[in-house]
Amino acid sequence: MDNGVSAGSTASTSTLGNLALGLTLLAFGIGQTGIVGGVSAADSVSLATYVGGLALFVLGLLEYRGGNGFNGTAFAGLGAFWFTWAHGADAKVSANAAGLFLLLFALLALTLTLGAPGGLFGQGAYALLTLSLVLLAVGTLADSGGLGKAAGWVAAVSGLMAWYGATAALANWPTALGRASGGRSAAAAG
């Protein structure tokens, strides 16, 4: 193994964590919107369990080990959310309990929004996740399918932002609008 490359480097685990979060949000969001016939949010349970839940949680622990407290908190906390959501999807819980669960994790997402590194793909993805969870919680409490669909669209856009941010980091694509110093657009930091 090359001495310059660590098996648990924060760049690789951060990128993989953002990909896992993005794909899980996309699957959940698309299912929640009902835009694809015969596909619902419940169809994303396996992905939410293993990719959004277990993998994201483990990546969070690796981020902590690598010294990245923000990504450790984000990935482990959201991994716990997705794992719990996936295992509770079949449970018979009241709308009030489900709404409260979503509101509590919206608080986690809000904390992540406020603590995220600046920029569209840092704070933006977490801000949209927060909005999605709040809309879904209110929709669940008020028994409003329209709010649930709106939450799905917001979650899908949040997932696209997380996916693009991770892909940009791998491909050295721009992640900032406008120009950086020297007239060149800024590229994603790996």
Confirm if 53 and 79 have CB atoms less than 8 A apart: yes
pLDDT, tens digit, for every residue of 78-131? 999 999 998 887 777 889 999 999 999 999 999 999 999 867 778 999 999 999
Cα angle: 69, vertex 59, 11; to 5 degrees: 70
Whole-model pTM: value is 0.84
| Integer Cα distance of 104 and 126 in angstroms | 15
Question: Which residue intervals of 1-68 are DSSP H helices?
Answer: 10-33, 45-47, 56-65
pLDDT, tens digit, for every residue of 20-73? 999 999 999 999 998 998 888 888 888 899 999 999 999 999 999 999 999 999
Q: Report all structural domains of the chain as residue ranges with CATH numbers, in order of start.
A: 11-174 (1.25.40.600)
